[in-house]
Structure formats: C-alpha cells, structure tokens
Structure 1
C-alpha cells in the first residue's frame, strides 16, 4: 500500500513538473516572440531618414553612417525598373518579382549592411495602385475598387517577404506609402464631417483600409513571422487620420504618421514667400498667425489618443516622413520643434529626405539655403550625374538634424 502511495505521489510530482515546464516554455516562447531580433531593434527610439537612390551609391551609405543615421526608409520607386514598375514588373498585372530588380535591391541592401544602416522596405506602388511620377499623372485607385488587385498586392508582399526575411539589414516592411482610398470616394481631409458615416458603411469591404492592412499583415506573416510591419493609415498617414485607424492583432506592427504640416508653409512653391515659422504661419481667410511649439503639439493629439485608446507603446509609433523646404524662412526652427515633439514622445522618426536624386534639391538639407544651383538644371538636361554639383556643407538646417541624430 505504501509503495502504491509513493508511486502515486511520484506520478503527481512528475505531472506537476511537466505542467510547470510547459507553462514556463509557453512564457519563454511568448517572450521570445515579443523580443525577436528585428523587433528588438525598435525597442528603443530610432532616428533615421528617407532615402531614394536612383542607383547604388556607396558614398551615401558611408555619409549616412558618419551622420549617425540608424536606418533608411528605402523608397523603392526611385530605382530604375527593368520593366515598367520596380519589382512588380507591371502594376496592371502582377505575376512574379522581377529578378533583375531583385538583384539590384539585394546589392543595395548589402551596401547598407556593410555600413551598419538598417532598412525599412517601402513600396510606393502596388498592383492596381501605381504611384504618380509627376503631379499631372492621374491617380490610380483600382486597388480600392477591385479585390483582384488586392489579392495581387498580398501575393507581391508574400513573395517579397519570402526573399527578404533573411537579409541582416532589414528591420521592417512598409507595405504601402501614404494610402488614400478615401480620396477615391471624395474625401480630402480627416475633419470632413461626412467621412465617419461613409467609413461605417464600407467597413469590411474593398475600400476599407483597415481591412486591407489586416489582410496585408496576415499575408506577410505567411512568409515571414518575424519582421515588423509598419502601417500607414487613412488620409496619407496624416496625424488626423489616426482618429479612424484600427490597429491589427500583431505585436510586431508599428503605426506611421507623416508630416505635421501645414503644407502651405512647408512647400516652397506654395509658400512663395508668404509664410515663415513661427511668426507668419497660415491661418484662415489667407491671414497669418504666430505659432509656438504648442500649435505643432496639437496636431499630434489624435496620435496620442490612438496610442492611449489601444495601449500602443511609444516604440510602436514612427514619424516616418516629415520635411520643410530648406529655403523657407524658419525651416530650421520648425524642424527643431518637430524633432523635439517626436523625441519627447519617444517615437521613432525618419526625416524626408537624405541626398535626394535629381535637380530638385529643396529637401537636401546638407545644401545651404542660400546656395545657387542654376547649373544643376542644365546638367540634368545633359544627362550628367548631379552629385558632384551639389555643394553640401554646414548650415543651420542640417545642424538641427545633425544634433538630433547625435542625441544632443
């Protein structure tokens, strides 16, 4: 009898140990899942830049590393495609990744890794959603009206994630830059009083961006369970659009906001000398008003509310595009205040942009605001490489960014 009791006690002890071990392993697996290497990169605030190379430029990666840039949000649409659309082949009908484009991308990623620069892969075009090359190009909204294009978009990213998941430079996928299905249906601003009721009517259907994002994350996870995904929300990832964004059930997802604006101030040709920060900022009825940093802080309140409502920690929010033309009066002060806001929140950020290609240099912050660049336009017409003609050097705007990159 005693032997039987001892045997029973041993059995209970073994069962208890197995149960505890199973629970411990479950916790350990959960912790591993949450602390994957690529998500671990985003566990602390990261500071980076947008970058759209027209070709492989090793000097740019070396310069970025010297400047303290931790990651590039790599704009793939800037690269010359072997067919019509980079990687996609043809956005009218996706079949498979273009092998030539994929080889070029790998070469660029290798250069990034060599210089310690991490990469967020960002698509500006998808099947049924070809990005504009020029402001006069028509908007392509087929993606938001036809399920067939959405299936092609998911297939594209499954294929791309499968190819990219092992590369050491990759730290996130950004499936679509600045989606705007609402604009296809007549809505231009987040404060349009008609938008909320329209959104309720189309929930769960093709134009629903939140549904699209859920399906996109699920498609990527079929090929890559580890790499974080960065999602742009309603109204071109405008901070005001966060009122309507719905998070996905995936811990390895970050949520992006783009420039605080106002674009009438930040855009050189639209500004046309009318506005300066902080004393002459756009107001109603073509008037001007004096701003402080509090005006900029008010613009991110919807982002703060979204994070609080859904318990999204700061390391899962990223200001992935912000800019101000370097020639605009007050550009340095404006960027300094914007960076201060992101740093106070502990949000990741990527200024727009680092060493852009071409003759348009308004957002090439290393070039002094007073630099004369008339010769660049003639050189572009002659098909010359313009990098040697860009007089980069110390100036107040770049100094602001450089200090922020240096965590000063």
Structure 2
C-alpha cells in the first residue's frame, strides 16, 4: 500500500515512526589507517548494496554519523571531499527509500579524534586530537555557519528529516568532570557549556530552513544522565536526543575480559560500588529521566544511538527490552551500527564489535542467523512509513 509522504515533524511526534541504524564514516589518514578504511577521502566505503540491505532488513531510517561539512582547521570553509561524500550517501539512501538524519561528528576545531580521545597516544598521536572548539568562540560561530550552509544545501531534499548538530558533546571529558552538577557549577555559562553555543546554531539554520527538524543531544557524550542539564531552545521543531549504552560495564565488555556481567544480572551498573539488579525494571527506571524531561518541557525525545557489543551475554534480551521500552514512549531509534560489506573490517583485528549480523561468537566474521539481529528485524518490521510512501 501507498501512503502520502509524511511531514517531517510528524515523523518525530505521536509515536515511534523511525526505526533504523547508524552508519559511520571518518576521514581516512593513510599513515594511520594503511588501507583499513579504504582509499578515502572518507571511510569505510559504503555501497548502494549496503543501504539496500539495511532497507531490506526493515529499517526506514539511517543516521549518517559523519564529518560535518566544514574543515576542522581555519579558514573554516566547506570541505569538498566531505560534501561530495555526503551527497553520495544521500543519493544511496534515497535509492534505498530511507529517511536520513545528518549527524555532525566534526566541525571547526573539533576532529573525529575528540570522540575517540581515549586512543590518543595509543593508536593515534596527540596531533590528531583537535578539540579547541570548547574555548574558541570563532570556531563556535563557524559551527553555526557550517550548519547554515548544510541546511541551505539539503533543506529541499525530501529524505533529510533531521539535522543533528553535534555527535556526543564532550567538553566534560576534556576537563575530566563526570558529575553533571559539578560540571555546571564550575563551567555553566562558559564556552565549555554546550547550552551557550548550540542555540545560535539553531538560529543560523532557521534563517535559511524554517522546517527541517533539529536534533540536539546533551553533554557527557549525550548520556541520558546529562539530558536534564540540556536547556531547551525556543524553537518548536527541535527533538532532544540521548545515546543509550548504559550500563556501559555491560554493553562494552570485551571477550578477553570474561563477559562476567549478564542481562538480566546483578552487578555494579552505575559506578557506586554496590550491585544492582539489572533487568527490564532497571532500564525502565533509568529511562524515567527522559520521561521527566519530555514532560517538563513538552518536547519529543529520540534515541539516535543505542546498542551493545554483539557477544554480550543476554544481548538480544537486553535490546528487546530496551527497544520495547522506547516504543512504549514513542521514541524513534537508530541502533549502532550498520557496517558496510568491507572485508578489512571483518578480520580478527578489524572493527566488528557492534556488527550484530555476525552473531555472538567473537571469532565469527561472516553474517549468520542470530537472536540479536532477529530482535532488530522484529522491531524494524513495525515500520510503515518510507519517503516514497511505499510500505
């Protein structure tokens, strides 16, 4: 059956309408990557077949977690490599009949390696770690210019249904402050406070694009516990987001560490040195932070990143409970992540932690039928809307 294409804002309110996955690209550095992420300029490479497979699995939405369109270093201007790559990704998403949110990982004075900063001095040198945007008002203003340019470029593209201003704001990590109260007590109202400089980005977009929904996540890598500190902006078409990997000590266990935390299970889930029963009720209680925020401000929420490393004990049950709790709240969801069919990723030393198509065996590096992917497909099967109007 065919239904009329939905108004962009209607996709974000009155129930869950968008269920899909993230794809990820960053700039390739030959001296670091040695072909691992492909020839560049961005990688890993995605093809039309990768987008088609995501749609065929039932997703109707892809979150493009990619560099912002402007250069990291001054003069801050459109990066032709990034612009051309994003244009091509959008063409492939359109061909696959997928809605798209553009999520900016980078921009003026913020490199990809700020999000990956734990690896500085390990697998990349400190010279790659560029994150001075949090103390540079010119660079912050250039983010507004970048998003104005982006909105002008894509405002009439019917599949682009959201602009996500910054992937995982994280100045608190730079300052090594993990208590939101302490952070805002010391740095609220300063250039380190996302609340002070995301509203001008919204304003810059609205000067050229009054309609496309804008997505904003909070500090602390957009963890839910930081959402209450995100001050809403006076704009009726903003969606507030969080990324959900809690309990981190469950979702990010590496195979060599024994995988001792299970779902459901009992372990210290919140760093308070006391064990908790981690189950559906624990998740429901945790997500109440989002319920309170949505009710307090009368705004919609979305979860444009969530997931679990594929080998975690009980991963399928964990994600089934989590996705069901999101649906009951009417939140749109994009899981992390949909990998391209790029062979260097599927090697023992590759990148496949979140490749749910490979199943729970860490040694398996080819697609296989498994419970976790079945859960994702089950929820994606609820989708009824696509850009073309086809079910």
Which range, TM-score by smaller chain?
0.7 to 0.9
Report deviation, 1:177.
0.3
**3-state DSSP of counterpart to 2:378:** helix
Partner of 1:254: 239
Report deviation, 1:98.
2.1
Residues 171-217 of structure 1, C-alpha deviations (whole Å, 9 max, x = no match): 11111001022333341233xx5334225xx32x3222112121110
Partner of 2:357: 366
2:327 paired residue among 343, 350, 355:
343
- The answer to whether the 8 A contact 2:109-2:131 is kept is yes
2:63 paired residue among 49, 73, 84:
73
**3-state DSSP of counterpart to 1:290:** strand
- The answer to whether the 8 A contact 1:94-1:156 is kept is no
Partner of 2:70: 88
Structure 1 CA distance for aligned equivalents of residues 273 and 310 of structure 2: 23
Structure 2 CA distance for aligned equivalents of residues 71 and 341 of structure 1: 19
Aligned length: 341
Q: 2:254 matched to 1:282?
A: no
Determine which structure has greater relative contact order: mean sequence separation of CA pairs < 8 Å that are 6+ residues apart, divided by chain length: 2
Partner of 1:194: 182
Partner of 1:42: 12
Partner of 1:322: 306
1:234 paired residue among 203, 213, 219:
219
TM-score w.r.t. structure 2 length? 0.81
Residues 287-318 of structure 1, C-alpha deviations (whole Å, 9 max, x = no match): 65432211111222221111111122xxx210
Residues 366-400 of structure 1, C-alpha deviations (whole Å, 9 max, x = no match): 11212634xxxxxxxxxxxxxxxx42132011111
Larger CA Rg, structure 1 vs 2: 1
CA RMSD for the aligned pairs?
A: 2.4
Partner of 2:118: 135
Q: 2:317 matched to 1:352?
A: no
After the TM superposition, which of the residue ranges 317-326 and 42-51 deviates more from structure 2? 42-51
Q: 2:378 matched to 1:403?
A: yes
Partner of 2:386: none
Structure 1 CA distance for aligned equivalents of residues 75 and 111 of structure 2: 12
Structure with the bigger percentage of helix: 1
- The answer to whether the 8 A contact 1:236-1:258 is kept is yes
Partner of 2:164: 174
Any gaps of 5 or more consecutive residues in structure 2? 26-43, 121-125, 384-391
- The answer to whether the 8 A contact 1:240-1:300 is kept is no
1:293 paired residue among 270, 276, 280:
280
After the TM superposition, which of the residue ranges 265-274 and 167-176 deviates more from structure 2? 265-274
- Name the CA shift for 1:291/1:41 in 2 (closer, same or farther; >3 Å): closer
Any gaps of 5 or more consecutive residues in structure 1? 1-34, 78-85, 374-389
Q: 2:82 matched to 1:101?
A: yes
Partner of 1:23: none
- The answer to whether the 8 A contact 1:72-1:350 is kept is yes
Report deviation, 1:351.
0.7
TM-score w.r.t. structure 1 length? 0.77
Q: 2:363 matched to 1:393?
A: no
1:306 paired residue among 287, 293, 296:
293
Partner of 1:22: none
Partner of 1:208: 193
